[in-house]
């Protein structure tokens, strides 16, 4: 429950942040920044909590909550999108790589945490391919610095459960390492930062070839139980990050 | 060798500290640490053998394990002094350079000035280093030393076996500031130090030990010796006794805490492990082993234990899922290949994407008009 509350708080913070930034539009009404469309791709990185749905196959007494409690993974992801088509918005294909980890102190036979730094961890390393649509037509043509983004695609989540020495756990011949396929979808809102600081935008373009810079928040929906049974690393989570279009 | 054989007992050197050192010591000197002066930008020891050198690079430590090397007639103590950039010193000029000396004393109290000021006699506990064992570079702002340990330390096999020697040996140079050398201003000194320590640190006391499948946790009273550098855990599945050598035990594995700590291991649940602690001094000497404590290895469970115990469907492995379907995985692989090819095309023909984008841009402009 606490985790759900945390996720909601983070989500609310992200939305509030983007909304506040959008409200600044009035204050910077004189700002005029060109939304560059002479671009070929986009690089993103984002961070956020990731609470996998491991317990979904167990009902009330799931192993994730029993061991990790309400902790979420600390999750980060980088991605590269290659623009395929640009007319009424931009259609791209993207590759993403993420990393999330959560750990807790190991317990003895009575289930009590041992008095040492023995940590057992679960790592989640998803690789994704997505089709990405950005509605940037209004950003370019109507000078509106907000770009809604939709992504959907396939993912393959590598995972690993480790003991205190960092080795893969093995119980009765079952090794705690593997991968599972799934699907994902994302809904995001990108704030075009160049709108607020055209001079720095020009500098970024000249020095680094970065044509557009965005601050964004997004909601991610991931499922890994659609192709069969297995550890469920699906999640509904929020994330925020920066994106650079070049 | 054409210089006088140097040898002083620690007691005599102590006396010299009181008589000579009081008025001549620069303010920067602290008890036992090598003297330093702003005139010397860098003083460093060259390591030829297994002694340890401190972070400042001006003190080397040799312990019991280095005894053979210390006694070897070919062993030398190397080092150099380089004048600082703000104080150009010509070591060939006797107005700037008052001499290079060596001396020894009890560790901790032995800093003093071999040559206090112009016209003063060299302190009797110091020996001037002959020209054959130091050289000045052509520019005259660096002195390098190469002193044979045989004459520098004057040790023998008995010193090694007795395990009672704890002494520092120093090489010192005396320099004066270029602007003030004509007056009566005294010399300032810079030193390199070799600490020879054949005394083991006091044995720490182990109070508690706790062993899991992956970790040994200990609580202990640290060694009471002044020069302890670290503590470590030793262990064995065989019983051992206080005072035993660490050679037949597992470890030593250093702990970071001053009175407690943990080390990694791999143990079977229910196994009995005998655990002890040892201290190590800056010269690398290990203390004898503390009285051991026996501990039964506690079985611990991690996340994967919880998952398997609850009957989770995951079996591990890299299939698409436990069900073993492969079509989605294949589709995913093809998608990855396609995207990779698109990226490659962009690298091979970077102008093409730009042209495409320019067309789009023009189209948009036209649409706006």
| Class in CATH terms, A2-29+39-245 | mainly beta
Per-residue confidence band for B27, with pLDDT thresholds at 50, 70 and 90: very low
Chain A contact present for B349, CB below 8 A: no
Of A197-211, A226-240, B157-171, which has the strongest mean pLDDT? A226-240
Contact A102, A68 (CB under 8 A): yes
Q: Count of CB atoms within 10 A of residue B76's CB?
A: 17
Contact A63 B310 (CB under 8 A): yes
**Model pLDDT, residue A5:** 47
CATH of domain B205-296: 2.60.40.10
Per-residue confidence band for B364, with pLDDT thresholds at 50, 70 and 90: very low
The arithmetic mean of pLDDT across residues A121-126, rounded, is 96
In the predicted structure, residue A47 carries a pLDDT above the cut 60:
yes
From residue B222, give the alpha-carbon distance in Å to each of B54, B204, B229, B281, B293: 22, 5, 11, 12, 16
In the predicted structure, residue B120 carries a pLDDT above the cut 70:
yes
Whose structure tokens read 């020697």? B165
Q: Please, which residues 52-91 of chain B have a Cβ atom closer than 8 Å to chain A?
A: none
Higher-confidence position of B362 and A104 = A104
Which residues are within 8 A (CB) of A196 and not within 5 positions of it... i.e. 6 or more apart? A24, A28, A31, A33, A145
CA distance A33 to A182: 39
**Chain A partners within 8 Å of B302 (Cβ):** 67, 106, 120, 161-164, 169
Of B2-6, B148-152, B189-193, which has the strongest mean pLDDT? B189-193
**Model pLDDT, residue A8:** 56
What are the residue ranges spanned by the domains of chain B?
A: 10-197, 205-296
Helix (H) or strand (E) holding A201: helix A198-208
**Model pLDDT, residue A75:** 97
Q: Please, which residues 184-223 of chain A have a Cβ atom closer than 8 Å to chain B?
A: none
**B188-197 and B59-62: which strand pairing?**
parallel
Contact A128, A152 (CB under 8 A): no
In the predicted structure, residue B17 carries a pLDDT above the cut 60:
no
Identify which of B226, B173, B240, B221 has the alpha carbon closest to the alpha carbon of residue B197: B226
Strand stretches in A167-211, DSSP E? 170-171, 174-175, 177-192
CA distance B10 to A118: 50
Backbone angles phi, psi at B326, to 5 degrees: -115, -15
**Model pLDDT, residue A217:** 97
In the predicted structure, residue A133 carries a pLDDT above the cut 60:
yes
Contact B332 A129 (CB under 8 A): yes
pLDDT tens readout for residues B200-232: 999 999 999 999 988 999 999 999 998 899 999
The arithmetic mean of pLDDT across residues A215-231, rounded, is 92
Mutate to test the interface with B, among A112, A161, A168, A223 (most CBs of B within 10 A): A161
CA distance A100 to A124: 5
Whose structure tokens read 């006088």? B4
**Model pLDDT, residue B183:** 61
CA distance A214 to B116: 69
pLDDT tens readout for residues B240-283: 999 888 888 998 999 988 999 999 888 999 999 999 999 999 99
CA distance A163 to A169: 6
Length of chain B, in residues: 369
The arithmetic mean of pLDDT across residues A221-234, rounded, is 90
Of A2-6, A119-123, B23-27, which gets the smallest average pLDDT? B23-27
According to DSSP, the residues that pair with B253 across neighbouring strands are B233
Spatial strand order in the sheet of B134-136 = B40-46, B76-83, B142-148, B134-136
Q: Count of CB atoms within 10 A of residue A5's CB?
A: 10
Pairs from A203-208 (Cβ < 8 Å, separation ≥ 24)? A205/A36, A208/A246
Mean per-residue pLDDT of chain B? 79
CA distance B186 to B170: 20
**Model pLDDT, residue B68:** 87
Backbone angles phi, psi at A42, to 5 degrees: -145, 140
pLDDT tens readout for residues A157-166: 999 999 988 8
Per-residue confidence band for A49, with pLDDT thresholds at 50, 70 and 90: very high
What are the residue ranges spanned by the domains of chain A?
A: 2-29+39-245
**Model pLDDT, residue B15:** 29
Identify which of A221, A171, A201, A194 has the alpha carbon closest to the alpha carbon of residue A63: A171
Q: How far is CA B198 from the centre of its chain?
A: 18
Chain B contact present for A124, CB below 8 A: no
pLDDT tens readout for residues A75-110: 999 999 999 998 899 999 999 999 999 999 999 888
Contact B336 A129 (CB under 8 A): yes
Percentage of residues in chain B having pLDDT higher than 90:
33
Mutate to test the interface with B, among A41, A58, A96, A106 (most CBs of B within 10 A): A106
**Model pLDDT, residue B108:** 72
CA distance A77 to B12: 69
**Chain A partners within 8 Å of B219 (Cβ):** none
In three state form, how does the secondary structure of chain B look? CCCCCCCCCHHHHHHHHHHHHHHHCCCCCCCCCCCCCCCEEEEEEECCCCCEECCCCCEEEECHHHHHHHHCCCCEEEEEEEECCCCCCCCCCCCCEEEEEEEEEECCCCCCCCCCCCCCCCCCCCEECCHHHEEECCCCCEEEEEEEHHHHHCCCHHHHHHCCCEEEEEEEEEECCHHHCCCCCCCEEEEEEEEEECCCCCCCEEEEEEEECCEEEEEEECCCCCCEEEEEEEEECCCCCCCCCHHHCEEEEEECCCCEEEEECCCCCCCEEEEEEEEEECCCCECCCCCCEEEECECCECHHHHHHHCCCCCCCECCCCCCCCCHHHHHHHHHHHHHHHHHHHHHHCHHHHHHHHHHHHHHHHHHHC
Per-residue confidence band for B344, with pLDDT thresholds at 50, 70 and 90: low
The SS3 call for residue A163 is coil
In the predicted structure, residue A210 carries a pLDDT above the cut 60:
yes
Contact B300 A115 (CB under 8 A): no
User: Closest Cα of chain A to B230: distance in Å?
Assistant: 20
CA distance A13 to A7: 10
Whose structure tokens read 């948009």? B364
């Amino acid at each position: 429950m606490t985790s759900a509350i945390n996720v909601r708080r983070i989500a609310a913070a992200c939305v509030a942040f983007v909304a506040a930034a959008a409200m600044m539009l009035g204050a910077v009404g004189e700002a005029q920044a060109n939304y560059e469309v002479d671009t070929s791709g986009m690089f993103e990185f984002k961070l956020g909590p990731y609470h996998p749905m491991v317990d979904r196959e167990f009902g009330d007494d799931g192993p994730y909550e029993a061991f990790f409690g309400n902790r979420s993974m600390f999750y980060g992801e980088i991605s590269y999108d290659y623009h395929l088509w640009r007319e009424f918005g931009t259609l791209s294909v993207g590759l993403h790589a993420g990393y999330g980890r959560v750990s807790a102190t190991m317990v003895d036979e009575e289930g009590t945490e041992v008095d040492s730094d023995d940590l057992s961890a679960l790592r989640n390393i998803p690789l994704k391919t997505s089709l990405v649509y950005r509605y940037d037509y209004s950003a370019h043509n109507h000078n509106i610095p907000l770009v809604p983004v939709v992504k959907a695609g396939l993912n393959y989540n590598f995972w690993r459960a480790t003991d205190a020495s960092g080795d893969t756990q093995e119980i009765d011949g079952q090794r705690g390492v593997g991968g599972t396929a799934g699907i994902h979808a994302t809904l995001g809102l990108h704030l075009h930062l160049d709108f607020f600081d055209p001079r720095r935008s020009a500098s970024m373009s000249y020095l680094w070839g970065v044509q557009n810079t965005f601050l964004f928040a997004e909601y991610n929906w991931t499922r890994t139980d659609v192709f069969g049974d297995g550890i469920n690393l699906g999640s509904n989570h929020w994330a925020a990050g920066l994106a650079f279009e070049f | 060798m054409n210089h006088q054989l140097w040898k002083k007992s620690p007691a005599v050197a102590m006396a010299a500290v009181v008589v000579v050192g009081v008025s001549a010591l620069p303010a920067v000197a602290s008890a036992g640490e090598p003297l330093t002066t702003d005139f010397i930008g860098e003083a460093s020891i060259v390591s030829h053998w297994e002694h340890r050198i401190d972070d400042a690079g001006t003190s080397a430590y040799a312990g019991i394990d280095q005894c053979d090397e210390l006694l070897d007639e070919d062993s030398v103590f190397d080092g150099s002094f380089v004048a600082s950039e703000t104080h150009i010193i010509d070591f060939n000029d006797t107005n700037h350079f008052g001499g290079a000396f060596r001396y020894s004393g009890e560790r901790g109290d032995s800093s003093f000035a071999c040559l206090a000021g112009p016209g003063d006699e060299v302190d009797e506990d110091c020996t001037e280093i002959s020209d054959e064992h130091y050289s000045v570079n052509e520019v005259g702002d660096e002195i390098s030393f190469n002193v044979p340990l045989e004459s520098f330390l004057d040790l023998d096999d008995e010193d090694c076996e007795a395990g009672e020697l704890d002494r520092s040996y120093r090489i010192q140079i005396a320099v004066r500031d270029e602007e003030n050398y004509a007056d009566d201003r005294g010399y300032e000194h810079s030193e390199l130090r070799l600490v020879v320590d054949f005394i083991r640190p006091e044995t720490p006391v182990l109070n508690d030990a706790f062993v899991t499948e992956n970790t040994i946790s200990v609580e202990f009273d640290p060694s009471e010796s002044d020069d302890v550098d670290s503590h470590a855990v030793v262990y064995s599945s065989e019983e051992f006794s206080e005072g035993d050598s660490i050679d037949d035990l597992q470890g030593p594995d250093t702990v970071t805490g001053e009175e407690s700590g943990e080390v990694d291991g791999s143990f079977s649940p229910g196994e009995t492990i005998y655990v002890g602690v040892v201290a190590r001094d800056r010269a690398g000497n290990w203390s004898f082993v503390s009285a051991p404590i026996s501990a039964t290895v506690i079985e611990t469970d991690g996340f994967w234990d919880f998952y398997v115990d609850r009957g989770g469907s995951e079996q591990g492995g890299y299939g698409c899922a436990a069900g073993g379907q492969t079509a989605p995985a294949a589709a995913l692989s093809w998608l990855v290949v396609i995207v990779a090819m698109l990226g490659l095309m962009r690298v091979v023909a970077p102008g093409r994407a730009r042209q495409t984008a320019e067309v789009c841009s023009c189209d948009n402009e036209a649409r706006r008009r």
